[in-house]
């Protein structure tokens, strides 16, 4: 998709930037807010506390006479995804400042650090990017930047959330241990065919065919969904190994021969993908961009659709 140019805002005028104070807790780093305030002295910069709501803060600003002409967010993928929804709602461009642990979407956009993001913003360089929308049981669609997931990954996140007081890494280790004992496959129905799967990942844009857990997208401009299903024919251990997304980790797991065989995986590529999750022993949960959501234990339908040019972001 072609790049575009927005009015230059070298001092940050017209920008509302919200910072998630809890993002990136697992990776100690210098606070970038003083630098941001220095470089964008006329921007509205606000740090949100744990009880503050992103949507409420944006709605209040948009109700003012001098409503922002651009939204910005400093945070991880969950915060960026929520702010993307608001940017689309109010039809304004989005400035993404990487401030989380992994920053999957920011890295895909070439925004590896705060300096790169600020440079794109002050130059007024805009890009149209593909997003996805997921709707549950016909409800309001939610903007998705990276992926939607069912099965072992949401179950792992649910276990880690229960151990949030231990921190992300220690809580994650405890969640892996629990998932290796208790993870349950999920029964799904798609286009008249029923299957029992360990996990489903629906990524935005075509991704590496050698990976299953598509946490980070490869392209911002591919208007399709890349769907990966891991059929439940092997052990919980093999199911959990598929959640590895780092190249080095995958190489080690392949060398140890603990990854499931290719015959357990199925791939589909489509512009629109709809699945019914059937009731069973597995928790009724799903994940979009790392955000855990609960659904009906009686079964629920996920409807995912690719949206070309669905969002404008500042990016090189």
107 and 23 within one domain: yes
Q: How many angstroms separate the CA atoms of 16 and 26, rounded? A: 26
In a domain, 118, yes or no: yes
pLDDT of residue 315: 95
pLDDT for 7? 64
Report whether pLDDT(175) > 60. no
283 lies in the same domain as 149: yes
Instruction: Give residue 33's pLDDT.
Output: 94
Average pLDDT for 178-187: 77
Does 116 or 160 have the greater pLDDT score?
116
Give the pLDDT confidence of 2-15 residue by residue, as tens digits: 446 566 677 899 99
- 114 and 187 inside one domain: no
Q: What is the span of the domain harbouring residue 193?
A: 143-308
Q: Give me the CATH number covering residue 55.
A: 3.40.50.10330
Task: Spell out where the chain has E strands.
Answer: 3-5, 15-20, 44-48, 70-75, 94-98, 125-136, 142-144, 147-151, 186-190, 193-204, 225-231, 265-270, 272-277, 285-288, 291-294, 300-314
Residues 187 and 108 in one domain: no
Note whether residue 138 is domain-resident. no
High-pLDDT (> 90) share of the chain, %: 67
Judge whether 315 lies within some domain.
no
Write down the pLDDT at residue 8: 63
Q: Is residue 206 part of a domain?
A: yes
Are residues 152 and 68 both part of a single domain?
no
What pLDDT, on a 0 to 100 scale, did the predictor assign at position 1? Answer: 39
Weakest-pLDDT range from 27-31, 41-45, 124-128, 182-186? 27-31
Which of 123, 155, 180 is a domain's end point?
123
Looking at per-residue pLDDT, the higher value among 248 and 77 belongs to 77
The total of structural domains in the chain comes to 2
Residue 129 lies in a domain: no
Last residue of a domain, one of 72, 95, 123: 123
* Mean pLDDT taken over the chain: 88
147 and 119 fall within a common domain: no
Query: Considering the chain, what percentage of its residues have pLDDT values greater than 70?
Result: 83
Q: Is residue 137 part of a domain?
A: no
User: Other C-beta atoms within 10 Å of 55: how many?
Assistant: 12
Shared domain for 115 and 147, answered yes or no, is: no
Q: What's the pLDDT score for residue 199?
A: 94
Q: Are residues 181 and 254 in the same domain?
A: yes
Smallest Cα–Cα separation from 223: which of 148, 138, 311? 311
* Residue 226 within a domain: yes
State whether 17 and 108 are in the same domain.
yes
Structure-model confidence comparison of residues 175 and 58, the more confident one:
58
Do 112 and 154 lie in a common domain?
no
Tokens of 53: 């709501």
The pLDDT, as a whole number, for residue 259 is 76
Q: Does one domain contain both 99 and 205? A: no
> Is residue 192 domain-resident?
yes
Where a domain ends, among 89, 123, 157? Answer: 123
Report the distance separating Cα 284 and Cα 278, nearest Å: 9
* pTM score of the predicted model: 0.89
Round to whole Å and give the CA distance between 250 and 248.
5
| Higher pLDDT among residues 312 and 238, named by residue | 312
Backbone angles phi, psi at 160, to 5 degrees: -70, -35
Task: Kindly tell me the burial class for residue 107, based on how many C-beta atoms sit within 10 Å of its own C-beta (0-12, 13-18, 19 or more).
Answer: middle
Indicate whether 112 and 148 sit together in one domain: no
Given this model, what pLDDT does residue 236 score? Answer: 77
Which pLDDT value is given to residue 2? 42
């Amino acid at each position: 998709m072609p790049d575009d140019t927005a009015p230059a805002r070298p001092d940050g005028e017209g920008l509302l930037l919200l910072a998630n104070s809890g993002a990136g807790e697992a990776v100690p780093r210098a606070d970038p807010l003083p630098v941001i305030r220095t470089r964008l002295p006329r921007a509205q910069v606000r740090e949100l506390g744990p009880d503050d709501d992103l949507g409420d803060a944006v709605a209040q600003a948009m109700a003012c006479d001098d409503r922002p002409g651009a939204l910005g967010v400093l945070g991880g993928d969950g915060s960026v995804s929520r702010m993307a929804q608001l940017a689309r709602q109010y039809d304004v461009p989005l400035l993404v400042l990487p401030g989380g642990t992994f920053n999957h979407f920011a890295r895909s956009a070439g925004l590896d650090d705060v300096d790169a993001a600020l440079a794109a913003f002050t130059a007024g360089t805009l890009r149209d990017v593909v997003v996805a929308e997921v709707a549950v049981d016909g409800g309001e669609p939610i903007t998705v930047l990276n992926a939607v997931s069912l099965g072992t990954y949401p179950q792992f996140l649910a276990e880690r959330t229960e151990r949030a007081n231990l921190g992300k890494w220690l809580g994650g280790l405890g969640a892996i241990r629990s998932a290796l004992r208790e993870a349950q496959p999920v029964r799904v129905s798609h286009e008249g065919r029923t299957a029992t799967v360990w996990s489903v990942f629906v990524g935005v844009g075509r991704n590496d065919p050698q990976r299953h857990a598509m946490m980070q997208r490869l392209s911002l401009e591919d208007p399709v969904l890349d769907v990966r299903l891991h059929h439940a024919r092997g052990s919980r251990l093999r199911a959990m190994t598929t959640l590895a997304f780092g190249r080095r980790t995958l190489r080690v797991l392949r060398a140890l021969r603990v990854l499931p065989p290719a015959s357990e995986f199925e791939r589909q590529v489509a512009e629109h993908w709809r699945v019914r999750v059937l009731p069973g022993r597995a928790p009724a949960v799903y994940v979009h961009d790392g955000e855990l959501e609960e659904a009906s234990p009686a079964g629920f339908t996920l409807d995912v659709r690719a949206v070309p040019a669905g969002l404008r972001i500042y990016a090189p």
